């Protein structure tokens, strides 16, 4: 099994967002960056599929700044064989440009599977995986929460509103992974040491500017702290009255 996993370096989910002086981007001062949590499921699944097949290779590919090398090393420490950094000074908001850059790297490599997290927890774009699939003309299933692969075919389950879709597809394919697919492993010390010696190719890349222009990044309006209606079950009648008469939601 030859598997590619596309990963992204993102701010930790506990980050308090501050807006940079340009009014259009995140102030990265003091921000801790991590491997996108949804990509961890993709890395883990790639490793498990390779282990099950008993042979093959898992490669991670990241599009990002030089610091994304650390993110790649995290995946290498989990057990991935090698990494590729498509190094770019900054990422554009247009996911199609990201998809084009990744598709360019993937197109001639004959992977059996290309895995993505279902979305990145920074830009919430939720689109690069299926776009890459379209650009490479590969079958694609998104937000996979259960997966079985056998005999060149796969069956995936994906959550939809009020149910679960059961989806069949042939390999090679592009899949995006959802929480619940697996429990990602933590890198062991041995893995962390080994990761330092694993190959990491750095390829300067310049995605196109795309057709989306950022006008502003702003903090959402602060919610006015409301009122404490009261204490204990005695306050419930008043709460219901307020919800009906003041908030008008009941």
Residues 173-192 that bind another protein (CB under 8 A): 178-180
Pairing of strands 57-64, 2-7: parallel
| Shortest Å distance, C-beta 30 to another protein | 15
Residue 66 contacts residue 47 (beta carbons within 8 Å)? no
Residue 100 contacts residue 208 (beta carbons within 8 Å)? yes
**Residue 129 half-sphere exposure toward CB, CA atoms < 13 A:** 30
**Residue with Cβ nearer another protein (85 or 131):** 131
Q: Does 208 bind another protein (CB under 8 A)?
A: no
User: Given the rule CB under 8 A, which of 6-14, 58-66, 106-114, 187-195 is the region that contacts another protein?
Assistant: 6-14
Binding-residue pattern over the window 44 to 83 for another protein, x denoting contact by CB under 8 A:
----------------------------------------
Q: In what helix (H) or strand (E) does residue 167 lie, and over which residues does it extend? A: strand 163-170
User: Given the rule CB under 8 A, which of 13-21, 44-52, 60-68, 192-200 is the region that contacts another protein?
Assistant: 13-21
| Tokens encoding 10 | 């993102």
For another protein, which residue of 161, 186, 190, 204 counts as binding (CB under 8 A)? Answer: 161
Size of the site for another protein (CB under 8 A): 85
Q: SS3 of 130, please?
A: helix
Q: Does 214 bind another protein (CB under 8 A)?
A: yes
| Tokens encoding 37 | 């949590």
If you search the block for the tokens 């204990």, which residue do you land on? 232
Which residue in 103, 63, 108, 112 sits closest to 83, CA to CA? 63
**Residue with Cβ nearer another protein (55 or 224):** 224
Residue 195 contacts residue 35 (beta carbons within 8 Å)? no
| Shortest Å distance, C-beta 213 to another protein | 5
Please report, in angstroms and rounded to a whole number, the separation of the first and last CA atoms in the chain: 55
| Tokens encoding 90 | 């900054």
Residues 103-142 that bind another protein (CB under 8 A): 121-131, 133-135, 139-142
Q: Does 166 bind another protein (CB under 8 A)?
A: yes
Q: Does 250 bind another protein (CB under 8 A)?
A: yes
For another protein, which residue of 67, 188, 206, 243 counts as binding (CB under 8 A)? Answer: 243
């Amino acid at each position: 099994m030859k598997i590619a996993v596309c990963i992204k370096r993102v701010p930790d989910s506990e980050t308090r967002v501050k807006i940079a002086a340009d009014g259009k981007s995140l102030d990265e001062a003091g921000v801790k960056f991590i491997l996108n949590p949804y990509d961890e499921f993709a890395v883990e699944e790639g490793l498990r599929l390779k282990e099950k097949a008993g042979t093959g290779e898992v490669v991670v590919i990241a599009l990002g700044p030089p610091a994304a090398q650390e993110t790649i090393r995290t995946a290498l420490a989990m057990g991935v064989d090698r990494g590729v950094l498509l190094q770019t000074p900054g990422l554009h908001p247009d996911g199609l440009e990201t998809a084009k850059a990744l598709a360019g790297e993937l197109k001639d490599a004959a992977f059996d599977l290309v895995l993505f997290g279902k979305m990145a927890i920074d830009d919430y774009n939720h689109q690069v995986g299926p776009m890459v699939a379209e650009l490479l003309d590969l079958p694609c299933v998104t937000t996979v929460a259960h997966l079985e692969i056998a005999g060149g075919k796969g069956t995936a389950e994906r959550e939809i509103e009020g149910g679960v879709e059961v989806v069949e597809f042939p390999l090679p394919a592009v899949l995006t992974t959802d929480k619940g697919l697996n429990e990602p492993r933590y890198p062991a010390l041995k893995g962390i040491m080994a990761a330092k010696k694993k190959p990491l190719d750095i390829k300067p890349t310049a995605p196109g500017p795309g057709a989306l222009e950022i006008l502003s990044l702003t903090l959402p309006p602060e919610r006015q702290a409301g009122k404490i209606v009261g204490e204990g079950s005695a306050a419930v009648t008043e709460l219901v009255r307020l919800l009906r008469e003041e908030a008008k939601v009941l």
